[in-house]
Each structure stands twice: as C-alpha cells, then as structure tokens.
C-alpha cells in the first residue's frame, strides 16, 4: 500500500529536475530532453490520481499525452537539425537572432 | 513496510538518480541513456499503479521511438560537449535557487493543501490482465473516439511538418 502523496511528491521532484534542466543547460537537445522529463512526471501524477479514484479516463488522457509528445519530438528535432545546419551550433546562447 | 512500498522507494531513488544523471552529465549521449532508464522506471511505476497498457506504451513510444530519435539526432549533430560560455554567469546559481524554491513550494502545497485522495493498493491480479485492456479499449473507442481520431491527424501533421522542415528543395538551395 503506497499513499498517493508519495507518487505526487516524486512527480513534483522529477518536474523540478526538468525545470532545472531547461534553466541551466545550454545544449538545445538536453533542454528538449528535460521537457520530455517534465511531460513524463505530469503523466505519472495523472496515472496516480486515476488509479486512486479507480477510473480509466486518466489513463486514456496519458495515452493522448504520449501521442502528442511523440508529435512534438518529431517536429522539435527537425527544427533543431535545421538550426544546426544554418548556425553550426546547438548552443542556445549562440542562437540570438531570428535571421536564418 | 509492505513489499510494494519498498519497491516504490527503491524505484523512486532510481528515478531521481537517473533524472539527475540526465541533468548533470556533460555528454549528450549519456544524458539520453539516463533518460531511457528513467522512462523504464516510470513504466514500472505504471505497472504498480495497475496501468499495464500505459506502461507498455511508455516503453514502446518513449524508450523505443522518442529516445531512438534523440540518439539519432545527437549522433547526427556530433556528441561532443559544447564549449563553456560565460554569457550570464549569475544565471546558473539563480536558476538552481529558484528550482529549490519551486520544489519546496509544490511539495508543500500538494501535501498540505490537497484533499487526501487515499492510498493505492497493490494492483489486483485482474488489473494486469486482458480484462483491463478490454475495459480500456471500450472506454477509448466509445467515450473518447473523437480525440482518438484527432490524434491521428495530429500525428500526420507532425510527420508532414518534420519532412518539409528537413528536406531539400529540388534543384539547388532550399
């Protein structure tokens, strides 16, 4: 028997690690991975609540979140590859102009 | 201490350690592999919560498809660590301090202010069986049919977007 609070605290900690990754890393790929970590931690909280109230809707919501994350990764990585082609760097400090 | 509580605590330690490993390792490949381990740990949490279908989707979609795509792009762009730059030297300590504040605040609010929802029992044998999958399919295709179809359009748009972003125009510069 695990109190649902434990899952929520774990989810909050993982989310904070993701936020920290977005804030302190300069590599665009690592920032993107941190965003995935945040999505994942929120999924964990949703499934924990859905399991606590014994409903399937939360699990289906998480299924949709996973599908949206897959779409987001496909487009985001394509953008990062394009940025690398034009700037020859994925350091977000170097990407300071919109002009290609 | 019951068996699933012990399992939860060990897995929680692994999840936090791999997330920190992702955050702190200099090499992007190591970060990606740490993140794969984190996703697999979360999949085991889903099994503990009685959601076997989500656990399997997590492994196939996140650990399988998404992270393979990440590793592919890392190898395409070169895995070497970025050179150190000193733009905004005060930004990193400030970010860490604010993250600690966020962690304390969210944990405090969630634990003290949230209405208690109850405990999660060890999943019954029925939870990790075909019966669970059948019920979930019924809910998905009756109650949530429209979002399911919209998701297919979203995936198509993402696919077309990724192809048009990276492909070269025929004959010369893009």
Is A68 part of a structural domain of the chain? Answer: yes
pLDDT at A61: 92
What's the rounded Cα separation, in Å, for the pair A71 and B157?
Answer: 8
Top pLDDT among B82 and B101 is at B101
Is B166–A2 a contact, with Cβ atoms under 8 angstroms apart? no
Q: Is A52 on the interface with B (CB under 8 A)?
A: yes
Is A17–B57 a contact, with Cβ atoms under 8 angstroms apart? no
Is A67 part of a structural domain of the chain? Answer: yes
Please determine, for residue B173, whether its predicted confidence score (pLDDT) is greater than 60: no
Candidate from B85, B117, B161 with C-beta closest to A49: B117
For B120, phi then psi, to 5°, come to -105, 115
The pLDDT > 90 percentage for chain B reads: 42
pLDDT at A54: 80
Q: Is B141 on the interface with A (CB under 8 A)?
A: no
Indicate the Cα dihedral angle B119, B125, B129, B131, nearest 10°.
-80
Q: Is B24 on the interface with A (CB under 8 A)?
A: no
Any idea what the CATH number is for the domain that residue A49 is in?
1.10.287.3510
pLDDT at B152: 93
Candidate from A3, A9, A66 with C-beta closest to B57: A66
Is A98 part of a structural domain of the chain? Answer: no
Is A54 part of a structural domain of the chain? Answer: yes
Residue B171 Cα, gap to closest chain A Cα (Å): 18
What's the rounded Cα separation, in Å, for the pair A17 and B103?
Answer: 9
According to the CATH classification, is domain B1-79 in 1.20.120.1200?
yes
Residues of chain A whose pLDDT is less than 50? none
Helices (H), B49-144: 52-57, 67-77, 91-108, 130-142
Residue A15 is part of which domain span? 4-87
pLDDT at B128: 60
CB B154 within 8 A of CB A67: yes
Report pLDDT digits (tens) over B136-165.
888 889 999 999 999 999 999 999 998 998
Q: Is B50 on the interface with A (CB under 8 A)?
A: yes
Q: How many independent structural domains does chain A possess?
A: 1
Is A64 part of a structural domain of the chain? Answer: yes
| pTM of the predicted protein model | 0.88
Which H/E stretch holds residue B110? none
Hey, of A67, A72, A93, which one would you mutate to test binding to chain B, going by the most B CBs within 10 A of its CB? A67
Give the start-to-end residue ranges of the domains of chain B. Answer: 1-79
Strands A2-3, B119-120: pairing is antiparallel
A61, A42, A7: which is closest to B118 by C-alpha? Answer: A7
């Amino acid at each position: 028997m695990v109190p649902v609070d434990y899952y929520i605290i774990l989810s909050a900690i993982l989310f904070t690690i993701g936020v920290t990754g977005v804030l302190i890393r300069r590599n665009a790929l690592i920032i993107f991975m941190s965003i995935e970590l945040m999505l994942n931690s929120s999924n964990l909280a949703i499934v924990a609540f859905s399991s606590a109230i014994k409903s399937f809707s939360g699990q289906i919501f998480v299924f949709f979140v996973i599908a949206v994350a897959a779409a987001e990764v496909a487009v985001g990585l394509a953008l990062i590859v394009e940025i690398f082609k034009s700037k020859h760097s994925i350091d977000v400090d170097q990407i300071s102009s919109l002009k290609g | 201490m019951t068996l699933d509580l012990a399992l939860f605590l060990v897995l929680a330690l692994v999840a936090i350690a791999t997330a920190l490993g992702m955050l702190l390792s200099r090499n992007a490949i190591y970060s990606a592999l740490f993140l794969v381990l984190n996703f697999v740990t979360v999949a085991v949490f889903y099994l503990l919560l009685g959601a076997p279908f989500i656990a399997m989707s997590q492994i196939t979609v996140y650990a399988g498809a998404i992270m393979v795509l990440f590793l592919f792009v890392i190898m395409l762009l070169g895995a070497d660590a970025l050179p150190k730059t000193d733009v905004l030297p005060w930004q990193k300590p400030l970010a860490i301090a604010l993250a600690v504040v966020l962690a304390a605040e969210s944990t405090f609010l969630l634990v003290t202010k949230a209405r208690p929802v109850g405990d999660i029992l060890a999943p019954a044998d029925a939870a990790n069986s075909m019966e669970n999958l059948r019920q979930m399919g019924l809910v998905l295709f009756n109650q949530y049919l429209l979002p399911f179809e919209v998701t297919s359009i979203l995936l198509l748009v993402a696919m077309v977007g990724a192809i048009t972003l990276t492909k070269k125009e025929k004959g010369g510069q893009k």
